[in-house]
């Protein structure tokens, strides 16, 4: 798990990525000064070190604040006991609280406070103990300069943390509170996202290289580990898939080098809501790929699917403090839309009824002023609520029966999902190149 | 037997999104609601907009017009209920049914219905019950009565009987419940459909109820109540012929014909005594709204208006009528 080279922040990370991508010939970008590239790396060393020291100091300050409050409270109690005989009522009224303020990640202006002692069902020292344990482990990781994963932290004290979710939220809370990124705390998530496509090659800081393949998925490493990425072949489209199952189907069929589509493709999945590493990769692609290359998201036709597409594009609510570095604005929602489903001749009854949660989620997305919905997404959510039906990507598979009659006899049956994607991607490619033409003119 | 209906004209300007509801009023005008958030009053001869409300940011799901044709009750996707007075163009009252109030278990309204006497309105939604609220200007939206079906299934459609003595609602799981308003008691439950009933219509004499469901059928229910309190014979006929969900229904003012709009992109006209389709009219899209003209011209088979997913209102009249 420990890597010798570790980067401190994705902010610094994106920079060299950008330089590398710009200097590549495949994109046809000229006049890129090589000096930029070296500058980017040269500045990194001391900057990284100072960041590390700064983070250590911030963590120590937090622990110090706790200790000094504890010390004050204890000395005050001693004084009270001393004065007890003279003025008992006065002592009772005095408050001796220890409180630690944590940033609220959803509403930046507010913060939540951990307090001890406090009236509560469980022991009120526990949240503070959990927080300080995270501080401790993060501090250790920074001092030893050896990154830990959130999973590691959980296993270091299972009895204290009880669940992974608590660790996850404390880590993000802590990062938001001392206003650094999670990577600055030297804490990482285990890799979850996958990519597939032989056109992409990643170089890691430890010297390893990850070569993408057309039929096999590769794990997307944490952004801090990636030194640079390059395209060894011309990539013409990028497809982000919500679901691992669909991603595996596409990998298995070698969809990244589908012959009916021009050039090579790149497939990415975050397996549901994407982790930071996946979003970092998508963000880097979004910043660096030429504008004629569409980056499309294929998600379920339900409110959560659309929310996942929006998470790639605009960032997530719980990671608001880190969103600027992660929002890939070029991601386009491709489908599956209800209109696509009807166009394929799939029966309405093949769609699923929406649940109470879907209904609430869709309504809150439609009503929230924070979520920038495009007309087509607004229409999609509205229609979903009105028909009270949703669909999974897999619903496309049921198009086979209804459409096979029109197919030329004797030809091999085509997976309806592949046919759907071929049509959709070609449409997007045509749209993007026509836009490009218009811009040139 | 077959009847001919001819396409008279379209609305002068189509909506930006689907028409989700339309009603032909006794003042010979049509009120429509749309997924684009608009509520509009149309002239039936010219197809021009007479009056309209500023577009709501979200779609309007439900519409109910008073027998006088002067008051229009409508409800939005998130549950904002409004009453619009056509005589002076003003909004009499609005109620935010999604706001939680203490001590009252509420649900955002989905479908609404204005009582024929205009004093109250009924709403249904996520909790599967009917809530009766005030429709008066000074306390619009005030909670009056709650009628429970005993099941928590999403309420799709609610409607007062034209005589005002009963209220019916249909659920996502296909049941239709009828409550008596003098005793506030559940008097009948019909389980003639096993899946969502999106729409139903009362006959003008309050004796028949026609429901349309995702099971592609329409069911005609005899909902008469004898003086002894014994309910009518219930489901008496099923009208089969659509190849997809039935989205909207309407019974002609004389109770002889019925209309149904479907996701199979057709409108069917049914002869209720023969229990058979007498006309099928193709539309380019799903038909979310159908409504008969309340006063048929003498000697004709009547006229009606349809609203489709393409945002167009279409007027139709029986062949032979002037």
Going by C-alpha positions, the residue among B246, B81, B236, B251 that lies closest to residue B161 is B251
A324 vs B223, more confident: B223
Tell me if chain A has a CB within 8 Å of the CB of B61.
Answer: yes
The number of residues in chain A equals 441
Going by the DSSP 8-state scheme, the letter that residue A112 receives in this structure is E
Domains along chain A?
52-74+96-188 (1.10.10.10), 194-440 (3.40.1360.10)
Which two tokens mark B275? 């229990």
Q: Which of B16, B55, B98, B154 to mutate to test the interface with A (most CBs of A within 10 A)?
A: B154
ipTM: 0.92
Which of A363, A382, A388 comes nearest B172 by C-beta?
A: A388
Residues of B within 8 A of A353 (CB-CB) are 172, 196
Residues of chain A in contact with residue B172, where contact means CB-CB under 8 angstroms, are 353, 388
Among A348, A356, A383, the residue with its CB nearest the CB of B126 is A356
> Which residues in chain B have Cβ-Cβ distances shorter than 8 Å to A388?
154, 172, 196
Rounded CA separation A42/A222 (Å): 21
User: What gap in Å lies between CA A93 and CA A91, rounded to an integer?
Assistant: 5
DSSP state letter for B297: P
Cα distance between residue B305 and residue B292, in whole Å: 7
Q: What is the pLDDT of residue A354?
A: 93
Q: Which residues of chain A lie closer than 8 angstroms to B154, CB-CB? A: 388
CA angle centred on A187, ends A186 and A191, rounded to 5°: 125
Of the candidate ranges A346-350, B170-174, B202-206, the one whose mean pLDDT is the lowest: A346-350
Distance CA A301, CA A299 (A): 6
CA distance A363 to chain B (A): 7
pLDDT tens-digit series, residues A319-344:
666 677 788 889 999 989 999 998 88
Q: Report residue B156 as tokens.
A: 């799709």
Does B295 have pLDDT greater than 90?
no
Candidates B107, B111, B222; CA nearest to B156 is: B111
B20/A contact by beta carbon, under 8 A: yes
What is the residue-wise DSSP string for A155-167? HHTHHHH-SHHHH
Residue B291 β-bridge partners: B305
Q: Where are the beta strands (DSSP E) in A190-253?
A: 194-196, 200-204, 209-211, 218-219, 226-231, 235-241
CB-based contact B154 A382, cutoff 8 Å: no
User: Minimal CA–CA distance to A329: which of A313, A315, A317, A316?
Assistant: A313
Read off the tokens for A55: 């983070």
In DSSP terms, which residues pair with B132 in a beta bridge?
A: B122, B145
Q: Which residue has the tokens 């709650």?
A: B146
Contact B59 A382 (CB under 8 A): yes
Q: pLDDT (tens digit, 9 = 90+) per residue, A50-72?
A: 888 888 998 998 888 888 888 88
Strand partners, A230: A201
Report the pLDDT value the prediction gives residue B28, as an integer from 0 to 100: 93
Q: How far is CA B141 from each of CA A29, A82, A296, B122, rounded to the nearest angstrom?
A: 63, 63, 45, 10
Contacts of B214 in chain A (CB under 8 A): 348-349
Q: Which of B267, B271, B257, B302 is nearest to B288 (CA)?
A: B267
Taking 50 as the pLDDT cut, the residues of chain A under it are 1-44, 88-89, 91-93, 402-409
pLDDT score at B124 = 94
What is the reported pLDDT for B229? 66
pLDDT of A121? 75
Nearest CA to CA, how far is B235 from chain A (Å)? 24
Q: What DSSP designation does A289 have? A: S
What is the set of active-site residues of A?
Answer: 155
Task: Tell me which residue in A353, A359, A386 faces B59 most closely, judged by beta carbons.
Answer: A386
The widest CA-to-CA distance across chain A, in whole angstroms, is: 102
pLDDT of residue A40: 32
The C-alpha atoms of residue B163 and residue B168 are separated, in whole angstroms, by 13
Helix, strand or coil for residue A364? helix
Which residues does chain B have within 8 Å of residue A356's beta carbon, measured at their own beta carbons?
126
CB-CB: which of B35, B196, B244 is closest to A386?
A: B35
- For B62, B210, B253, B260, B295, the CA distances from B304, given in Å and listed in that order, are 19, 17, 11, 11, 10
CA B151, distance to chain mean position in Å, is: 22
Instruction: Give exposure, B32-62, as e/b (b: 16+ Cβ within 10 Å).
Output: bbbbbbbbbbbebeebeeeeebeebebbbbb
Which residues are A352's β-sheet partners?
A390
- The pLDDT score that the predictor gives to residue A86 is 53
Most B-contacting residue of A342, A378, A381, A390 (CB-CB within 10 A), to test interface: A378
Chain A to chain B, count of Cβ pairs less than 8 Å apart?
A: 37
Residues of A engaging B, defined by a Cβ cutoff of 8 Å = 347-349, 353, 356, 359, 363, 366-367, 379, 382-383, 385-386, 388
B55 touches chain A (CB under 8 A): no
Q: Is B153 on the interface with A (CB under 8 A)?
A: no
Beta partners for residue B170, in sequence order: B157, B176
- What CA–CA distance (Å, rounded) separates A221 from A225? 7
Flag whether pLDDT at B191 surpasses 50. yes
What is the 8-class DSSP label of residue A17? H
Average pLDDT over residues B274-297: 93
Q: Which residue has the higher pLDDT, A119 or B246?
A: B246
Find all residues with CB under 8 Å of B64, minimum gap 6, and list them: B23, B72, B73, B74, B112, B113, B114, B121, B159
User: How far apart are the CA of B57 and the nearest CA of chain A, in angstroms?
Assistant: 9
CA distance B161 to B168: 7
What is the residue whose two structure tokens read 């005899």? B222
pLDDT of residue B103: 64
DSSP string, B219-242: EEEE--B-TT--B--EEEEEE---
Q: How far is A406 from chain B (nearest CA, A)?
A: 20
Q: Average pLDDT, whole number, for chain B?
A: 92
As a whole number of angstroms, the distance between CA A62 and CA A174 comes to: 10
d(CA B322, CA B311): 27
For A299-374, where are the alpha helices, taking DSSP H only? 303-314, 338-343, 356-367
- Delineate the domains of chain B, giving CATH numbers in brackets: 5-318 (2.130.10.10)
Question: Is the Cβ pair A388, B244 closer than 8 Å?
Answer: no
Q: Tell me how close the Cα of B243 comes to any Cα of chain A, in angstroms.
A: 10
């Amino acid at each position: 798990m420990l890597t010798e080279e570790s980067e401190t922040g994705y902010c610094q990370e994106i920079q060299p990525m950008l330089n590398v991508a710009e200097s590549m010939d495949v994109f046809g970008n000229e006049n890129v000064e090589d000096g930029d590239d070296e500058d980017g790396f040269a500045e990194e060393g001391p900057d990284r070190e100072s960041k590390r020291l700064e983070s250590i100091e911030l963590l120590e300050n937090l622990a110090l604040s706790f200790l000094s409050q504890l010390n004050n409270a204890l000395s005050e109690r001693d004084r009270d006991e001393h004065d007890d005989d003279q003025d008992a009522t006065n002592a009772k009224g005095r408050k001796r609280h220890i409180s630690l303020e944590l940033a609220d990640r959803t509403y930046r202006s507010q913060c939540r406070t951990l307090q001890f002692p406090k009236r509560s069902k469980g022991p009120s020292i526990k949240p503070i103990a959990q927080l300080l344990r995270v501080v401790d482990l993060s501090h250790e990781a920074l001092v030893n300069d050896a990154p830990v994963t959130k999973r590691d932290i959980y296993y270091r004290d299972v009895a204290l943390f009880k669940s992974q979710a608590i660790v996850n939220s404390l880590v993000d809370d802590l990062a938001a509170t001392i206003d650094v990124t999670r990577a600055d705390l030297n804490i990482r998530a285990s890799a979850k996202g996958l990519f597939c496509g032989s056109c992409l090659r990643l170089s890691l800081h430890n010297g390893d290289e990850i070569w993408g393949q057309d039929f096999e998925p590769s794990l997307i490493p944490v952004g801090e580990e990636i030194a640079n990425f390059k395209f060894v072949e011309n990539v013409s489209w990028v497809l982000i898939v919500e679901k691992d199952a669909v991603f595996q189907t596409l990998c298995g069929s070698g969809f990244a080098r589908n012959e009916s589509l021009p050039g090579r493709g790149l497939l990415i999945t975050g397996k549901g809501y994407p982790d930071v590493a996946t979003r970092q990769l998508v963000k880097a692609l979004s910043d660096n790929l030429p504008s004629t290359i569409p980056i499309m998201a294929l998600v379920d036709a339900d409110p959560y699917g659309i929310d996942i597409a929006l998470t790639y594009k605009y960032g997530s609510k719980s990671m608001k403090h880190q969103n600027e570095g992660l929002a890939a604005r070029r991601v386009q929602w491709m489908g599956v839309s209800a209109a696509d489903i009807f166009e394929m001749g799939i029966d309405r009854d093949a769609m699923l009824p929406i649940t109470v949660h879907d209904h609430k989620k869709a309504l809150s997305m439609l009503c929230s002023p924070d979520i920038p919905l495009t007309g087509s997404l607004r229409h999609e959510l509205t229609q979903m609520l009105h028909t009270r039906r949703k669909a999974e990507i897999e619903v496309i598979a049921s198009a086979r029966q209804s459409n096979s009659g029109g197919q030329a006899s004797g030809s091999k049956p085509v997976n309806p999902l592949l046919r759907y994607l071929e049509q959709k991607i070609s449409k997007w490619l045509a749209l993007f190149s026509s836009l490009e033409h218009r811009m040139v003119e | 037997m077959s009847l001919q209906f001819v396409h008279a004209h379209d609305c002068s300007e189509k909506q930006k999104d689907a028409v989700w509801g339309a009603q032909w009023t006794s003042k010979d005008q049509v009120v429509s609601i749309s997924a684009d958030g608009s509520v509009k009053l149309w002239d039936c001869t010219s197809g021009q907009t007479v009056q309209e409300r500023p577009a709501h940011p979200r779609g309007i799901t439900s519409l109910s017009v008073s027998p006088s044709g002067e008051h229009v009750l409508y409800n939005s996707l998130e549950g904002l209920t409004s009453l619009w007075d056509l005589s002076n163009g003003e909004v009499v009252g609005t109620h935010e049914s999604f706001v939680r109030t203490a001590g009252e278990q509420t649900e955002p309204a989905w479908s609404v219905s204005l009582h024929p006497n205009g004093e109250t309105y009924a709403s249904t939604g996520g909790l599967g019950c009917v809530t009766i609220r005030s429709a008066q200007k000074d306390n619009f939206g005030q909670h009056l009565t709650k009628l429970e079906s005993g099941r928590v299934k999403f309420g799709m459609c609610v409607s007062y009987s034209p005589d005002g003595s009963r209220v019916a609602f249909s659920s996502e799981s296909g049941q239709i419940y009828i409550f008596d308003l003098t005793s506030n008691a559940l008097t009948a439950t019909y389980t003639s459909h096993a899946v969502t009933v999106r729409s139903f219509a009362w006959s003008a004499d309050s004796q028949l109820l026609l429901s349309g469901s995702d099971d592609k059928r329409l069911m005609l229910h005899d909902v008469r109540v004898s003086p002894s309190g014994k309910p009518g014979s219930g489901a008496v006929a099923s009208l089969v012929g659509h190849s997809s969900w039935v989205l909207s229904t309407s019974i002609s003012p004389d109770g002889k014909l019925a209309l149904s709009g479907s996701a199979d992109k057709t409108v069917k006209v049914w002869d209720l005594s023969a229990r058979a389709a007498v006309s099928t009219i193709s539309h380019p899209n799903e038909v979310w709204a159908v409504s008969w003209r309340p006063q048929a011209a003498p000697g004709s088979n009547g006229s009606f208006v349809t609203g489709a997913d393409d945002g167009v209102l279409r007027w139709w009249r029986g062949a032979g009528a002037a």
